[in-house]
């Protein structure tokens, strides 16, 4: 492995990180338009649970009539609010949906504005009544009444921990009475939802309930360089379903083969949760008290992403009431917090595995222990930036024996090759025009003097071993909400998962990398022009890409370079050979 190979590997890794930052899949194509003007959504034909536990083919969803609009005269909208120390949820009497999901302690990230100037993070990104979360729907094929697209409700009860919404009187006598009861747990991101459907008519009714969660209109999609100066790219809000041990579609992908614009995936029966998965947040519904349920994730052509949870159909004799229960989660993707949420088929006491929504990629085996260590350090110092410093020192200490050994090998190889330097120079002059012959004669010279020419490359090994750590830290900053909007030095770096707004860290990191290259002993036999290129190109390359990457990653590399410089200086001083004394003057 020569220096060109090392450079190629480093460049490949740098390009890998840069590609994830600058580029993303293009947005979905325009919607297909039905003859009546509505958007057509096609289902993939997966099975849908029936009341008796069997399955029936999923039909093609009917186009939404373009002329269906809200009634001209409607009751005045009323809002009801539930609040604890972590979140504030606002409900609307229009369709009994959640109008705001504000997370206390998080700010909306807006390019060009500081976090202090931003508003509280709201997981609801639209005001469209038909695209707000936790909306009710009914599967037409198994429902004996027609559920209106627009409904009006009344606030039947509003207490500090409970809101009850009741369907207002309707001109359609065939509609059942419906109540939605929301309960917010203290010091939690969990809500409990009960939907009660009461048949007050004189004939039996059938219903199959759907709970719908939307990502909002025009879900953001990073394209090209749209987010290149904003740290990590924006991740679209993807409809996601957890079936068994598998998350569908695969987290971190925008348009996988399983989910094309205008299509939907229907999965059953071991559904643990379904919802909208963002980069750092999750809005999900967990089934409770049912043996099976069906989730349906959809990417509509108009970029409105939807996830729905459907229960088996039920028969309601006159005067009977059917209750459906759900456990809702709307908050940051804290692994430990989400791991505590229970639900799913059966008694609902099994882990719902919401933490599977966090995707660390192929380096998860490094990301998980690194995040665990960062949490431990943060518990001690209460600053995530300082925790990164501690992590850097720990990794450096773990690699110290290897680095020390490589320094010794490099120094020994350098001395041996310095001894034969005149012979090497002679060969370069003799075979200046025959590169192949020069390499052949050089190898003969090394063999004759028992020199391993590759020993000088040993110093590159610690750098190569650091590369997976850098990528893992990048993925951790990209996916871990613990580091999202985590400050290091307030007023300068207010968010370690975002780029350095003043570009100070990338610049000083580049300078430290240059000094590290300059202090590293040159490898004998290396072309001087190639060595000079490495000395200047590598720091400049990493400085450029770090201008666009999270400040936490630049902080790690900077501190690692400073520790490497200190190690090299101390080693050089301890192993320096004493100067040769001048011969005494006999005169």
Q: What is the DSSP letter of 108?
A: -
- pTM higher than 0.85: no
Rg, C-alpha atoms of the chain: 31
Tell me which of 308, 336, 359 is where a domain ends: 359
The answer on 352 and 379 residing in a single domain is: no
- Residue whose pair of structure tokens reads 């011969």 in the numeric block: 583
The answer on 502 and 476 residing in a single domain is: yes
In the prediction, which pLDDT does 524 show?
A: 53
| Model confidence pLDDT, tens digit, residues 443-474 | 888 888 877 766 555 556 666 777 788 888 88
Q: Are residues 504 and 493 in contact, defined by beta-carbon separation less than 8 angstroms?
A: no
Does any domain span residue 50? no
Does any domain span residue 36? no
The answer on 252 and 267 residing in a single domain is: yes
Q: How many CA atoms lie within 13 A of 440 on its CB side?
A: 6
The answer on 375 and 347 residing in a single domain is: no
φ and ψ of 463, to 5 deg? -65, -40
The answer on 569 and 477 residing in a single domain is: yes
Give the highest mean pLDDT range of 209-223, 311-325, 410-424, 509-523.
311-325
Does any domain span residue 401? yes
The sign one gets for the Cα dihedral 545, 549, 554, 560 is negative
The answer on 441 and 305 residing in a single domain is: no
Does any domain span residue 527? yes
In the prediction, which pLDDT does 526 show?
A: 58
List % helix, strand, coil for the chain (3-state, nearest 5).
35, 25, 40
- Judging by DSSP bridges, how do beta strands 177-184 and 190-198 pair with one another? antiparallel
Spatial CA neighbour of 277 closest among 245, 237, 334, 219:
237
In the structure encoding, which two tokens stand for residue 225, read together?
Answer: 């360089």
Dmax over CA atoms of the chain, in Å, equals: 131
- pLDDT category at 115 given cuts 50, 70, 90 is confident
From CA 517, how far away is CA 531, in angstroms rounded?
A: 10
Q: Return the beta strands (E) in 71-171 as ranges.
A: 79-83, 87-92, 97-107, 120-122, 135-138, 153-159, 162-167
The answer on 568 and 488 residing in a single domain is: yes
The answer on 331 and 456 residing in a single domain is: no
φ and ψ of 550, to 5 deg? -55, 145
Cα 281 vs. chain centroid, distance in angstroms? 9
Whether the predicted pLDDT of 357 surpasses 60: yes
- State the DSSP string of 244-268: TTEEES-TT-SS-TT--TTEEEEE-
**What rounded mean pLDDT belongs to the chain?**
78
Does any domain span residue 484? yes
Does any domain span residue 38? no
Tell me which of 359, 376, 391 is where a domain ends: 359
From CA 28, how far away is CA 161, in angstroms rounded?
A: 40
Spatial CA neighbour of 384 closest among 555, 270, 248:
555
- Residue whose pair of structure tokens reads 């380096």 in the numeric block: 363
| Model confidence pLDDT, tens digit, residues 34-88 | 333 333 333 343 444 443 444 343 433 434 444 467 887 888 999 999 999 999 9
| Number of independent structural domains in the chain | 2
Helix axes 3-22, 528-546, angle to 10 degrees: 20
197: left (phi over 0), alpha (psi -120 to 50) or beta: beta
From CA 422, how far away is CA 158, in angstroms rounded?
A: 91
Structural domain for 412, as ranges: 3-17+366-574
The answer on 99 and 237 residing in a single domain is: yes
Tell me which of 359, 386, 408 is where a domain ends: 359
Residue 111 sits in a domain whose CATH number is: 2.70.98.90
H-run or E-run covering 285: strand 281-288
Spatial CA neighbour of 407 closest among 465, 467, 458, 454:
458
The answer on 406 and 262 residing in a single domain is: no
Q: Are residues 324 and 209 in contact, defined by beta-carbon separation less than 8 angstroms?
A: yes
| Model confidence pLDDT, tens digit, residues 85-110 | 999 999 999 999 999 999 998 988 77
Contacts of 140 (CB under 8 A, 6+ apart): 62, 146
The answer on 245 and 312 residing in a single domain is: yes
In the prediction, which pLDDT does 493 show?
A: 92
From CA 174, how far away is CA 156, in angstroms rounded?
A: 22
- State the DSSP string of 471-511: HHHHHHHHH-GGGTT--SBTTTBS-TTS--TT-HHHHHHHH
Q: How many helices (H) and strands (E) does the chain have?
A: 11, 23
């Amino acid at each position: 492995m020569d220096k060109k190979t090392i450079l190629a590997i480093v460049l490949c890794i740098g390009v890998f990180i840069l590609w994830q930052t600058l580029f993303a899949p293009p947005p979905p194509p325009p919607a297909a338009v039905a003859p009546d003007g509505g958007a057509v959504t096609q289902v993939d034909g997966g099975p849908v649970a029936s009341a008796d536990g069997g399955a029936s083919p999923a039909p093609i969803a009917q186009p939404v009539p373009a002329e269906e609009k809200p009634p001209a005269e409607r009751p005045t909208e009323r809002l009801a609010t539930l609040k604890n120390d972590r979140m504030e949820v606002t409900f609307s009497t229009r369709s009994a949906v959640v109008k705001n999901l504000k997370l206390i302690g998080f700010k909306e990230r807006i390019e060009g504005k500081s976090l202090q100037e931003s508003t509280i993070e709201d997981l609801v990104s639209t005001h469209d009544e038909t695209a707000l979360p936790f909306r009710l729907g009914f599967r037409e094929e198994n429902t004996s009444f027609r559920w209106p697209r627009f409904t009006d409700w009344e606030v039947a009860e509003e207490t500090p921990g409970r809101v009850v919404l009741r369907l207002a009187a309707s001109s359609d006598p065939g509609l059942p009475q419906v109540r939605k009861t929301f309960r917010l747990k203290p010091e939690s991101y969990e809500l409990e939802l009960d939907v009660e459907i009461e048949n007050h008519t004189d004939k039996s009714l059938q219903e199959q309930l759907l709970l719908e969660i939307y990502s909002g209109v025009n879900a953001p999609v990073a394209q090209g360089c749209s987010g290149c100066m904003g740290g990590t790219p924006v991740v679209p809000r993807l409809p996601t379903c957890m079936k068994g041990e598998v998350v569908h579609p695969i987290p971190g992908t925008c348009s996988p083969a399983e989910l094309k614009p205008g299509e939907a995936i229907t999965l059953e029966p071991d559904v643990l949760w379904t919802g909208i998965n963002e980069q750092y947040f999750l809005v999900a519904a967990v089934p409770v008290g049912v043996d099976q349920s069906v989730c349906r994730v959809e990417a509509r052509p108009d970029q409105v992403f939807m996830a729905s949870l459907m229960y088996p159909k039920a028969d309601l004799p006159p005067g009977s009431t059917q209750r459906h229960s759900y456990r809702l989660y709307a908050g940051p993707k804290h692994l430990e917090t989400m791991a505590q949420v229970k639900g799913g088929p059966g008694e609902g006491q099994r882990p719902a595995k919401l933490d599977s929504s966090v995707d660390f990629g192929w380096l998860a085996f490094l990301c998980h222990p690194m995040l665990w260590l960062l949490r431990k350090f943060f518990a001690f110092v209460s600053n995530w930036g300082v925790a990164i410093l501690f992590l850097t020192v720990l990794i450096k200490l773990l690699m110290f024996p290897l680095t020390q050994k490589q320094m010794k090998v490099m120094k020994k190889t350098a001395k041996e090759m310095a001894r034969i330097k005149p012979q090497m120079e002679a060969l370069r002059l003799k075979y200046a025009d025959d590169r192949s012959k020069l390499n052949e004669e050089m190898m003969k010279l090394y063999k004759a003097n028992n020199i391993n020419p590759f020993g000088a490359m040993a110093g590159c090994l610690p750098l190569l071993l650091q590369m997976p750590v850098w990528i893992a830290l990048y993925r951790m900053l990209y996916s871990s909400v613990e580091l999202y909007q985590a400050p290091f030095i307030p007023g300068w770096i207010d968010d370690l998962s975002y780029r350095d707004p003043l570009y100070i860290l990338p610049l000083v990191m580049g300078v430290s990398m240059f000094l590290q290259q300059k202090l590293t002993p040159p490898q004998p036999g290396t072309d001087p022009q190639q060595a000079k290129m490495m000395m200047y190109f590598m720091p400049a390359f990493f400085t450029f890409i770090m201008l666009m990457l999270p400040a936490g990653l630049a902080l790690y590399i900077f501190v690692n370079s400073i520790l490497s410089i200190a190690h090299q200086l101390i080693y050089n001083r301890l192993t320096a050979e004493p100067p040769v004394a001048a011969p005494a003057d006999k005169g």
